[in-house]
């Protein structure tokens, strides 16, 4: 996105949210790629694009960024694969996703709404909150 603000004063109420946003898309991609690799055996740009609702050109461009970020490997016409780092991120994302969906459902949200909302919410749940979620779910077993 650019450089960080000079910032001498306090602020940071929104700061974390912002930086999290840059990661959200990466998480969506690796999560989906992990799903495709497990489900279909391969993750191809066109499928990724369709599932994310973007053009294939956009998907390819993003995949290039993921590659630069060390999250995936991809050779032309050969599909996309996760690196160790990518797999780790995907796992974390999926764990969070499941937990968020379970909590929403426990609160009375319909499965469809829970799945849909979790997609956005999961990227903003901190470790602390995640722990509280797990605890809460366990407490009401």
Could you list the residues that contact its own copies (CB under 8 A)?
Answer: 5-7, 9, 11-18, 20-21, 24, 28, 50-55, 103-104, 107-110, 113-117, 119-121, 123-126, 128-129, 132-133, 135-136
Note every long-range contact of 87-95, with CB atoms under 8 Å and residues 24 or more positions apart, other chains counting: 87/30, 87/34, 89/26, 89/27, 89/30, 90/27, 90/30, 90/31, 90/33, 90/34, 91/34, 93/27, 93/28, 93/30, 93/31, 93/122, 94/31, 94/34
User: Which tokens is 47 given?
Assistant: 């499928």
- For the window 94-113, what string marks contact with DNA as x by the rule CB under 7 A? --------------------
Q: Which of 32, 33, 62, 104 binds DNA (CB under 7 A)?
A: 62
Closest separation in Å from C-beta 49 to DNA: 7
62 binds, among its own copies, DNA, none (CB under 5 to 8 A by kind): DNA
Q: Which of 76, 84, 112, 127 binds DNA (CB under 7 A)?
A: 76
Residue 77 near DNA by CB under 7 A: yes
Residue 74 near DNA by CB under 7 A: yes
State the Cα–Cα distance between residues 13 and 140, nearest whole angstrom: 32
Closest separation in Å from C-beta 99 to DNA: 23
89 binds, among its own copies, DNA, none (CB under 5 to 8 A by kind): none
Name the β-bridge partners of 74.
Answer: 80
The contact set with DNA (CB under 7 A) reads 1-6, 18, 22, 25-26, 44-47, 53-58, 60-63, 65, 74-79
């Amino acid at each position: 996105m650019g450089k960080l603000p000079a910032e001498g004063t306090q602020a940071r109420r929104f700061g974390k949210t912002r930086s999290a946003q840059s990661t959200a898309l990466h998480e969506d991609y690796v999560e989906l790629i992990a799903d495709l690799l497990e489900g279909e055996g391969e993750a191809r740009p066109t499928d990724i694009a369709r599932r994310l609702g973007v053009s294939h050109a956009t998907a390819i461009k993003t995949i290039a960024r993921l590659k630069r970020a060390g999250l995936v490997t991809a050779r032309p016409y050969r599909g996309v694969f996760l690196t160790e780092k990518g797999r780790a991120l995907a796992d974390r994302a999926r764990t969070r996703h499941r937990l968020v969906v379970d909590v929403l459902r426990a609160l009375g949200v319909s499965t469809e709404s829970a799945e849909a909302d979790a997609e956005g919410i999961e990227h903003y749940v901190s470790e602390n909150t995640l722990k509280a979620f797990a605890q809460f779910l366990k407490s009401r077993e």
